[in-house]
Amino acid sequence: MIRKSKIILSFDLDFTLIDNTKGIINSFNYALKKYDIIPINKKEIEMMIGTPLESMFGKFSDLEPSKLTSAFREYYGSKGLFQVKLYHGVNKKLEDLRRSFILGVVTSKKQEMAIKLLKYLEIDNYFDFILGETDEIKSKIDLKLKDYLLKRYPNYKFVVIGDHPHDKMLAEMLESPFIGLLTGNHTKEQLKREGKSNTLILNSVIEITEEMIYTLF
């Protein structure tokens, strides 16, 4: 059995620990309206949450994506960030899991925004690291992210937990098990598709147990 101190649980944020749907939709459509682009319906935006913002905006406009992402963050930083709620039971589950494992966050959000959000929700203290998009790391499947994690935690084992196929791709990149959650907009089949990672699909994060983590290795 792998020692407890050598296992790291890496959590996604949106649709994994939090529901920030309202804030993201409002911020996305604020950016579109600012540049006279027709707003997108809620469901279309929900399906894209978890992918980099520039990729999201690139689907709907030929405008330079950085202009739209800047407008998104203008609204999100002042209003959208706070239109959020934790999923039921997340606080207690994180408290339980951190007794046995190192916890961290890897998100597609801007890193400074992710840190601000977790402090607002008063759960930042559960995590050993909070990683998001920076000038150096552009996405959760950036090889620089892999290099950073493996250098910071040599000889550790990772488990990636999230609701999005990009989380599965992160697990593949780290050669780690993946726990896919059905709290997002992706099906069991989509989360299990392809790859070599040992994959477990759950309804929500509160179903994770210490014993379950060990069965993945």
Same domain (yes/no): 43, 99: no
Q: Which of 123, 129, 115, 114 is nearest to 50 (CA)?
A: 114
Q: Which two tokens stand for residue 111?
A: 């890193």
Among residues 78, 86, 77, 79, which one has the least CA distance to residue 110?
77
Range(s) of the domain holding residue 35? 21-82
Q: Give yes or no for residue 2 having a pLDDT over 70.
A: no
160 with 186, same domain?
yes
Per-residue pLDDT reduced to its tens digit, 142-189: 999 999 999 999 999 999 999 999 999 999 999 999 999 999 989 999
- State the pairing for strand pair 18-19/85-86: antiparallel
1: confidence class by pLDDT, cuts 50, 70, 90: very low
Half-sphere CA count of 215, side-chain side, radius 13 A? 8
- pLDDT of the residue at 46: 87
pTM over 0.85: yes
Together in a domain, 10 and 25: no
**DSSP code of 182?**
T
Residues 145 and 183 grouped into a single domain: yes
Q: What is the CATH number of the domain that holds 183?
A: 3.40.50.1000
Between CA 80 and CA 212 the distance in angstroms is 35
Q: Residue 40 above 70 pLDDT?
A: yes
For the four alpha carbons of 106, 83, 208 and 45, in that order, the dihedral sign comes to: negative
Q: What is the pLDDT of residues 80-121, one digit of tens each?
A: 989 999 999 999 999 999 999 999 999 998 899 999 999 999
DSSP summary character for residue 177 = -
pLDDT in tens, 43-75: 899 888 877 888 889 888 889 989 999 999 999
Distances (CA, A) of 148 to 32, 45, 58, 143, 179: 34, 30, 28, 9, 22
pLDDT at 4: 56
Task: List the one residue out of 128, 86, 123, 84 whose CA is nearest residue 104.
Answer: 128
